[in-house]
Amino acid sequence: MKVSFIATVYNEEASIKALLDSLMKQSQMPAEIIISDGGSTDRTVGIIKAYPGKIKIIIKKGNRSVGRNEAIRKTTNEIIVCSDSGCILDKNWVKNIIEPFSDPKTDVVAGYYVGKPNSVFEKCLIPYVLVMPDKIDANSFLPASRSMAFRKSTWKNAGKFPKEFNNNEDYVFAKNLMKINAKIVFEKKAIVYWRPRSNIKNAFTMFYRFAKGDSESRIFRPKVILIFARYIAFLIFTVSFLIFKSYIILNTLYLILAFYILWSIAKNYKYVKDARAIVFLPLIQFVSDTAVIAGTVIGLLTQKLKILIEGLFYITIVYSIILLNFRHLRSLFSPPKINQSEIVGYAQYFGYPLYFETIILFIFIFTPILVFFVLSKMKKI
């Protein structure tokens, strides 16, 4: 069975060699290797060219989806195997990931991935990012670009990798595969080794990027909804304490915080088994929560920011017209008479109290915004 290997790179001089070294040591070599470079400014392309054999390099500026689609378009075989820079392939990866295609009904193969940490921090980060062996569900395991194989015809039928998304394009592609009822087979033996982020700053960026990508594509995972629910509940308790000054509420807050810290340690300590994880696991939990909340909110706003600004512009125009004609509208509302001293600022010019102006401002500015977000949620846009 002839297969084509594809990968996308951009300024990957630090990691591309490890990927290509593992590719050259495969027990079954792909018939074709195509690397799509997004316009690297470092030594990435030079490193690739130094490898013996027929590695085809194409330069295609754009995000990962653009580069990946271009690489697939250039392939000459029906079966495509795919991985990413930053990964190291098991020596039998190609052999194992194409094995399920012996069944002509198989459209896609989802390979597995294992963390390759160099520190305790990286070891603690792995269960927050990868699906751990004891949590694998072969029936729902979706393919990821770091370890994936598919038929070229299936790629076309699924609409290719979505070029409008850069942070989670493989997850959106996997969802599109499900929509066309593609047969996805999980192959646990097709393993790639993945290097986790080495520090808390890079980890935050990774979580933020994933959450922002999901939000932009209007994919809301159950875990994300639970994170928002936890922090909303915690916020309610905090506000309640500030209002009522109740030490019962304060002690409840302390208990919730203590439980959350212990829970973050208990659920993942078995994967690390190092005393230092007692510090790192809660830290990663809070950092990932913060990044997910921020990424989700920003992802929602960026897609609709233009519409929101335009909406506020037209609302302001409507509000201004209402202010100019408010003398006539007052008779409809029949507001109570007030003393002249209650009229302040430019409200005096129009002849109505400032508090009434504030109510109108709230109605005409904040109500459309509220309706906008409610409709967005209902439509799952």
> pLDDT at residue 132 above 70?
yes
> pLDDT at residue 321 above 50?
yes
pLDDT of residue 366: 55
pLDDT of residue 6: 97
Query: What is the pairing mode between strands 184-194 and 87-89?
Result: antiparallel
pLDDT of residue 52: 79
pLDDT band at 348 (very low <50, low <70, confident <90, very high): very low
Two tokens, residue 309 = 């600004």
pLDDT tens sequence across 109-130: 999 999 999 999 999 999 999 9
Long-range CB contacts for residues 175-180, cutoff 8 Å, separation at least 24: 175/142, 175/219, 177/107, 177/108, 177/143, 177/150, 178/142, 180/154
> pLDDT at residue 356 above 70?
no
Two tokens, residue 264 = 């973050």
Higher pLDDT: 357 or 147? It is 147
* Exposed/middle/buried for residue 210 (C-beta within 10 Å: 0-12, 13-18, 19+): buried
Two tokens, residue 115 = 């963390």
Tell me what the pLDDT averaged over the chain comes to: 85
pLDDT of residue 232: 92
Domains of the chain: 3-198 (3.90.550.10), 203-209+216-300 (no CATH), 325-379 (no CATH)
Two tokens, residue 18 = 């490890």
CA atoms within a 13 Å half-sphere pointing along the CA-CB vector of 297: 8
CB atoms within 10 A of CB 328: 8
pLDDT of residue 131: 94
pLDDT of residue 374: 47
Distance of CA 114 to the CA centre of its chain: 20
Q: Report d(CA 19, CA 7) in Å as an integer.
A: 10
pLDDT tens sequence across 295-319: 998 888 876 665 555 556 556 666 5
Higher pLDDT: 343 or 19? It is 19
- Mean pLDDT over 19-45 rounds to 95
DSSP 302-345: HHHHHHHHHHHHHHHHHHHHHHHTHHHHHHHH-PPP--GGG--T
> pLDDT at residue 320 above 90?
no
